[in-house]
Structure 1
Amino acid sequence: MKHFLRVLTQFFVFLYCKCLWRTLKFMTRKVTGRCELQRICYNNKPGARRTLKIESSLQFSKSELLQSAVSVPPDSVEKAIDDIMTLKRINHDSNPQLGISLQASLLQIVGYRNLLMEVEKLRREPYDSENSEHEEMLLKLWKTLRPDTPLTGRVSKQWCEIGFQGSDPKTDFRGMGLLGLHNLLYFAEHDKTTALQVLHDSLQPRQSKMSKVEWEKKKLDKAIGYSFAIVGINITDLAYSLLVSGAMKTHLYNVAPEMPSLMHFQQTFCYLMHEFHKFWIEQDPCDIMEFNRIRNKFHRRVLKQLNNPNMALCPHFSASDLHLVNL
Structure 2
Amino acid sequence: MATKTIKRRLHHGDGDERRNEYLEVSGSDTTDEPLLREYDRVASHPEGENERRHLQSIQNNKKESICWSRIFSLLCTRCADWIANICSASCELLARLISLPSSSQNKFSNEKVPMLLSSLQEERLRNLRQRLEVPFDGSRLDHQDALKQLWRLAFPHRELPPLKSELWKEMGWQGPDPSTDFRSAGFISLENLIFLAEKYPQSFQRLLHKQDGKRSEWEYPFAAAGVNVSFMLTQMLGLKSGTTFSRTGARFIELLEADEMAFDNLYCVAFQLLDSKWVSMHASYMEFNEVLKSTRTQLEHELGLKDISRVEDLPAYSVLNR
User: Which residue identity is paired with 2:194?
Assistant: L
Residue among 268, 271, 279 paired with 1:270: 268
Indicate whether 1:158 and 2:167 are aligned.
yes
Partners of 1:235 and 1:272 within 8 A in 2: yes
**In structure 1, the residue corresponding to 2:210 is in which secondary structure?**
helix
Give the Å deviation of 1:226: 1.0
Partner residue in 2 for 1:20? none
**In structure 1, the residue corresponding to 2:248 is in which secondary structure?**
coil
Q: More deviation in 133-142 or 301-310?
A: 301-310
Partners of 1:116 and 1:243 within 8 A in 2: no
User: Which residue identity is paired with 1:181?
Assistant: L
Indicate whether 1:289 and 2:289 are aligned.
no
Give the Å deviation of 1:284: 0.5
Residue among 179, 182, 188 paired with 2:188: 179
Cα distance in 1, alignment partners of residues 117 and 266 from structure 2: 24
Give the Å deviation of 1:296: 1.1
Structure-to-structure mapping, 1:299-314, within 5 angstroms: 299-311=296-308, 314=311
Q: Which has the larger radius of gyration?
A: 2
Indicate whether 1:119 and 2:128 are aligned.
yes
Decide whether aligned partners of structure 1 residues 305 and 320 sit closer, same or farther in structure 2, where only a CA change above 3 A counts.
closer
Give the Å deviation of 1:302: 1.7
Decide whether aligned partners of structure 1 residues 320 and 224 sit closer, same or farther in structure 2, where only a CA change above 3 A counts.
farther
Partner residue in 1 for 2:206? 197
Give the Å deviation of 1:175: 0.9
Decide whether aligned partners of structure 1 residues 141 and 288 sit closer, same or farther in structure 2, where only a CA change above 3 A counts.
same
TM-score (norm 1): 0.54
Partners of 1:206 and 1:225 within 8 A in 2: no
Q: Unaligned regions of 5+ residues in structure 2, if any?
A: 1-112, 239-245
Give the Å deviation of 1:274: 0.9
Decide whether aligned partners of structure 1 residues 162 and 205 sit closer, same or farther in structure 2, where only a CA change above 3 A counts.
farther
Partners of 2:236 and 2:248 within 8 A in 1: yes
**In structure 2, the residue corresponding to 1:201 is in which secondary structure?**
coil
Give the Å deviation of 1:186: 0.7
Give the Å deviation of 1:114: 3.8
Q: More deviation in 307-316 or 128-137?
A: 307-316
Partner residue in 1 for 2:232? 238
Partner residue in 2 for 1:250? 251
Give the Å deviation of 1:260: 4.1
TM-score (norm 2): 0.55
Cα distance in 1, alignment partners of residues 189 and 207 from structure 2: 17
Partners of 1:250 and 1:309 within 8 A in 2: no
Decide whether aligned partners of structure 1 residues 297 and 132 sit closer, same or farther in structure 2, where only a CA change above 3 A counts.
same
Structure-to-structure mapping, 1:25-64, within 5 angstroms: none
Decide whether aligned partners of structure 1 residues 134 and 235 sit closer, same or farther in structure 2, where only a CA change above 3 A counts.
same
Partners of 2:215 and 2:282 within 8 A in 1: no
Decide whether aligned partners of structure 1 residues 246 and 132 sit closer, same or farther in structure 2, where only a CA change above 3 A counts.
farther
Partners of 1:271 and 1:313 within 8 A in 2: no
User: Which residue identity is paired with 1:282?
Assistant: S
C-alpha distance after superposition, 1:196-238 (max 9, x if no partner):
0111117x99466xxxxxxxxxxxxxx3321111111111112
Cα distance in 1, alignment partners of residues 166 and 201 from structure 2: 23
Decide whether aligned partners of structure 1 residues 159 and 315 sit closer, same or farther in structure 2, where only a CA change above 3 A counts.
farther
Partners of 2:258 and 2:310 within 8 A in 1: no
Give the Å deviation of 1:305: 2.2
Cα distance in 2, alignment partners of residues 301 and 145 from structure 1: 28
Decide whether aligned partners of structure 1 residues 238 and 296 sit closer, same or farther in structure 2, where only a CA change above 3 A counts.
same
Cα distance in 1, alignment partners of residues 276 and 310 from structure 2: 15
Partner residue in 2 for 1:146? 155
Decide whether aligned partners of structure 1 residues 148 and 166 sit closer, same or farther in structure 2, where only a CA change above 3 A counts.
same
Partner residue in 2 for 1:87? none
Give the Å deviation of 1:249: 3.5
Cα distance in 1, alignment partners of residues 250 and 161 from structure 2: 43
User: Which residue identity is paired with 1:280?
Assistant: W
Quote the RMSD (CA, aligned, Å): 2.9
Structure-to-structure mapping, 1:48-87, within 5 angstroms: 70=116, 74=119
Cα distance in 2, alignment partners of residues 273 and 207 from structure 1: 16
Give the Å deviation of 1:140: 0.1
Give the Å deviation of 1:147: 0.8
How many matched pairs? 199
More helix by share: 1
User: Which residue identity is paired with 1:310?
Assistant: D
Q: Where in structure 1 do 4 or more consecutive aligned residues deviate above 6 Å?
A: none
